[in-house]
């Protein structure tokens, strides 16, 4: 006699969730002076050079306010987001390999 759907039992694949380890390593790679530090002119320049239309428009909207504190925050957050992508990729490669 075969198994029917009511007898089926789901057992997930044995999988090692390393997301916390990857997140921790990502932030280590982004610390001041580290390889993916977003607090550098190089990181800001790279992030600004990588703007798509949507992000450029969002930055322009902040620039138009002439609120220099908000402009600075926006630029630094864009640099953080940009460098975080690379740091996370590096952390995943390092940990998952």
* pLDDT one-digit tens code per residue, 77-86: 999 999 999 9
Confidence of residue 44 (pLDDT cuts 50, 70, 90): very high
**Average pLDDT for 52-73:** 97
| 83 burial level (CB within 10 Å; 0-12, 13-18, 19+) | buried
pLDDT of residue 51: 95
pLDDT of residue 39: 97
Residue pair 68/59 in contact (Cβ under 8 Å)? The answer is: no
Task: Look at residue 55 and tell me whether its pLDDT is greater than 70.
Answer: yes
């Amino acid at each position: 006699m075969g198994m029917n759907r009511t007898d089926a039992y789901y057992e997930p694949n044995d999988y090692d969730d390393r997301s916390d380890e990857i997140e921790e390593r990502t932030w280590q790679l982004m610390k001041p002076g580290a390889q993916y530090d977003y607090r550098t002119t190089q990181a800001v320049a790279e992030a600004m050079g990588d703007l798509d239309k949507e992000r450029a428009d969002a930055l322009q909207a902040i620039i138009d306010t002439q609120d220099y504190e908000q402009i600075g925050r926006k630029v630094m957050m864009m640099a953080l987001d940009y460098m975080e992508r690379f740091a996370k990729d590096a952390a995943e490669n390092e940990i998952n390999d």
